[in-house]
Amino acid sequence: MKFSRFARRTKHDEILADVVWYFGVGNDCTEDFIHMIGQLLTERYLIIERLGSGGFSETYLARDKYLPCNPLCVVKQFQLSPSSTISLEMARQLFETEARVLDQLGQNHAQIPTLFAYCHEQDQLYQIQEYIEGENLGDEIAQGKCLTSEAAIDLLNQTLPILEYIHSHQVIHRDIKPSHFIQRDGVIVLIDFGAAYCVPITGKPTEVIFSIGTPGYMPEEQEAGAPEPSSDLYALGASVIHLLTGVHPKELERNPVTGELDWRMHLQGRVINPGLSTVLDRMVQRNPRMRYQNASEALAALGAALRAPAPAKRRSFKRGRWVPARQLWKPAVLSLLLGGWYFYFSNQIEGAGAMLTQLEHAVSQSDNDVALVHEASTQSDVNRMMVAPDNRF
């Protein structure tokens, strides 16, 4: 009799039994919960938990009933949010692009999720992706944890090759941020290619008619709808700065003279590797032409900066002896001269700051990329200026 009763069970009953088996859910489940959690896609993927939602998708945790041990996987259901600012057609295009990118890149790279299936069922569109189990860096920063200098260097060493790989396949991620990095067994995996953009083979990216990305991590050219590979480098640099300081990039102020992110003040006295600071500064340059142009260049610069010998420390001994007093007159005189020059130039620097502000206003109202200093009308005693090769001083 028991076998006969089991044989008469409907498929819906079997699905509910599986849900009960996975979660220990009782009969007090609501119909909405049953409808969302009990679906069996393509007779294979059983949805067991809701993970979250985005602008045009709902994400669920599921189990693959066809494989031994029923391994976990991720199901993304296409569903445009009512608050979304993009059209249904554009959202569908992005969803399909994500599937193509994962199918192309995830199969051959261990730090990119693999696409298992892309299917239509009951007028719904689904992706089934590899489930990446590990520590989400976005959750870590939300708990008030900050990266050490060494951990930040390791993060760059792991993620820059991922960007090098996807950029070599003419793909721009466009949504690099801490919550899209998962550390699995010590290895960083980049997830969520929902905003990915495929660059035309004919050359550099064509103009995109909409802006997509996360404010703070998204550079200005991407906000304007013209992403470049260096846009991902900016987002990665902003992400590492966020993880180092605990301060969201949106909350960082820009230096009034250089216009660049002023993030070191948020280190709260912590000392980080100077080579790391130099690389991060270059990655988050406001002007995309001033950044590293590709991930390989940034990775090489990071390696070179870390290999550079530390500046020699001043010593008060020579060969185990005190330095004779007569050898100290030159530093003393030099200090006096520098002190005098400092008081003189402090007034000049104030004038230079005022002049730079006026120049910035003059150039911003011009269509030219370059404006000569003597052509700009400024009210300042400063009549001559030099710009260092790093374009900052």
- Tokens read off for 181: 């990095």
Catalytic residue among 64, 103, 175, 262: 175
Report DSSP state, residue 131: -
Q: What are the C-alpha distances in Å from 50 to residues 36, 41, 62, 77, 388?
A: 8, 15, 9, 11, 54
User: What long-range pairs does 361-365 form, CB within 8 A, spacing at least 24?
Assistant: none
Alpha carbon 1 to chain centroid distance? 60
CB 118 within 8 A of CB 99: yes
Q: Closest Cα to residue 207, out of 221, 186, 187, 195?
A: 221
Alpha helices by DSSP H, 57-130: 88-105
For residue 197, give Cα distances in angstroms to 101, 191, 194, 241.
Answer: 9, 15, 9, 24
Note whether 236 and 163 are within 8 A (CB). yes
Which of 302-338 are b and which e, b meaning 16 or more Cβ less than 10 Å from the residue's Cβ? beebeeeeeeeeeeeeeeeeeeeeeeeeeeeeeeeee
Phi/psi of residue 67, nearest 5 degrees? -100, 155
Q: Quote the CA–CA distance of 16 and 156 in Å, as a whole number.
A: 45
> Which distant-in-sequence residues (6+ apart) come within 8 Å of 79 by Cβ?
53, 56, 57, 58
How far apart (Å, rounded) are the C-alpha atoms in residues 195 and 8? 46
Catalytic: 175?
yes
CA–CA distance, 185 with 180 (Å, rounded to integer): 16
CA nearest to 161, candidates 109, 238, 98, 222: 109
Q: Please give the Cα distance from 198 to 12 (Å, whole number).
A: 41
Helix (H, G, I), strand (E, B) or coil at 250: helix
Distance CA 227, CA 249 (A): 19
Q: Looking at the annotation, which residues are catalytic?
A: 175
